[in-house]
Chains A and B, each alone.
Chain A
Amino acid sequence: MDSQATVVMPQEKVKSSIAKKKQRKKDILAYIAVYLSATLAVALLVGIISYVLFKGARVVNISFLTHVTSFLDGTVGIAGNIVNTLYLIVMTMVIATPIGVGAAVYLNEYAKPGKLVSIIEFAIETLAGIPSIIFGLFGMVFFGATFGLGYSLWTGALTMVLMVLPLVTKNTKEALKTVPDSYRVGAIGLGTGKWHMIRTILLPSAMPGIITGVILAIGRIVGESAALLFTAGSAKILPASFNDLLEKTMQSGGTLTIQLYLSMSKGEYDIAFGIAVVLLVIVLEINILTKVLANKFDLNKKAK
């Protein structure tokens, strides 16, 4: 039956004009729907940011940024928390970057594709999706109690290392994957050893991806609270002197987000919003920095 129908078709075909422009109802509806969604998404974001800025901007001033809250001196400030955040970033990344990059190089350049590699990759993906409070629990018990590091920046940093490793590894690995094979065979064809080739060609080419991973990891550290509360603790004093800089790593130190949490729980909303403004600015800067650095190190763009 069907085949008959198609055979008769040509005879029944009427000439149709293409000059019949009309707006289809579904098109218009769909347009309105997606337009509203986009507006809503942007409006929410702008709304939150302006609300936080409105509430918090007047709290933020030089004194707020350079003093530590103290009842004795009558000062209110987050200098200690800013310093602790910096400590945690540096301590975490100094450990996480080489391990993460190393793991990515192994997975992409040395390991033979197969079951083991898939398992490792799956583990890394899973690690990235674990709720951070679980890292906090593990960090507190393992680094804090078993290692005896207690509530300290080291306990917090080592916990964060576990959390950000997947970010660094994954970004580096993706970046290595995009390095053309022609670079690899080109270098090997000149009699280059594998490690030399990786060091001189692959890692420089993958640099934008590595930097992206590192900066995303820093963003994660800045934004983390659950995993830090019971590992790095919540102390907010500054290192007493230059000589105490190293000693500080063995002491408890609360980051900005921890202080934000504590201020909220104590009902100090002014301070909480002030910290929120500082955090927003930091996150914005991190995002800009990512773009700028990734561009700067992009060897392909240098050609132009």
Chain B
Amino acid sequence: MEKQTKIKVRNLDLFYGANHALKNVNMDIKEKSVTAFIGPSGCGKSTFLKTLNRMNDLVDSVKIDGLVELDNENIYGEDVDTTLLRKKIGMVFQQPNPFPMSIYDNIAYGPRVHGIKDKNKLDRIVEESLRGAAIFDEVKDRLKKSALGLSGGQQQRICIARALAVQPDVLLMDEPTSALDPISTAKIEELMDELKKKYTVVVVTHNMQQAVRVSDETAFFLVGEMVEFNRTKDLFAYPKDKRTEDYITGRFG
């Protein structure tokens, strides 16, 4: 059965001042699947990821043209509330960035922002989110302790749990394992497999093996251009573009 399109991108151009950072990107991201963006540093894959939940709004000199739709709603529309948008499209960053507060408060932060005050309800959300990020058993006895005391891999799963706690539809992950050791990386990759049953996952990665292992579809970016977008199996086995082939066979990048 063909999966529905969750995010539709048409003719997207992005400028940082005079720098044309994304050039005419078109893409359909399917729901409940993992989509990977690969490409060398500075190719625009992280920038593109950030256009999907408007995190680029925080940068002053950014100008964006084109269409990005979430469930057929233009996310750059005039009456869009970025707060609600980012509630639907959560984000996990390259460096684990738990807030300097307890594990519990980290997870409850998002739900509290969005108006949930009931203690029992928060307790339930915290537990579910931590379970969803496969870290509940490791931290259940120290929920009131600072999240900064955890290891990098645990911190990253706390950040995933924190993103899940606001019950998003989409989870954007910007090189979520590049700061982690191989064991923590394996855990996060396993987790992505679980997450895609409920969420649409988009992951930027430097690591092509990771893209092969975790993703259903892969997009290859090069200097602001989306060169190729295909099912992961096909993209790596039968790259259609010479540049994709050169990149995945390790000739550059």
Contact = CB atoms under 8 A, between A and B. Distances in A.
A186 B97 contact: yes
Nearest to A299: B100
Contacts of B162: 186, 190
A191 B83 contact: yes
B99 interface: yes
A-B interface, 5 closest residue pairs, ranked by CB to CB distance from nearest: A299-B100, A303-B148, A182-B97, A191-B86, A189-B91
Given A185-B55, A189-B90, A192-B83, A205 B113 contact: no
A300 B93 contact: no
Interface string A173-216: 00000001011011111111100100011001100000000000
A182 B100 contact: no
B53 interface: yes
Q: Which of B90, B147, B148, B163: most chain A Cβ within 10 A?
A: B148
B83 A303 contact: no
Contacts of A180: 97
A15 interface: no
A299 B101 contact: yes
Q: Which of B93, B97, B148: most chain A Cβ within 10 A?
A: B97
Interface residues of A, number: 23
5 contacts: A183-B99, A191-B84, A191-B85, A200-B109, A304-B149
B84 A185 contact: no
Contacts of B114: 191
A22 interface: no
Contacts of A300: 100, 148
Nearest to B95: A182
Contacts of B86: 188-191
Contacts of B237: none
Nearest to A197: B113
A300 B113 CA distance: 23
A185 B58 contact: yes
Contacts of A200: 109
Contacts of A115: none
A302 interface: yes
Nearest to A112: B60
A187 B109 CA distance: 8
A180 B84 CA distance: 24
Given A189-B53, A191-B82, 16 more contacts: A185-B58, A185-B93, A186-B97, A187-B109, A188-B55, A188-B86, A189-B55, A190-B162, A191-B87, A191-B110, A191-B114, A191-B166, A193-B83, A200-B109, A303-B148, A304-B149
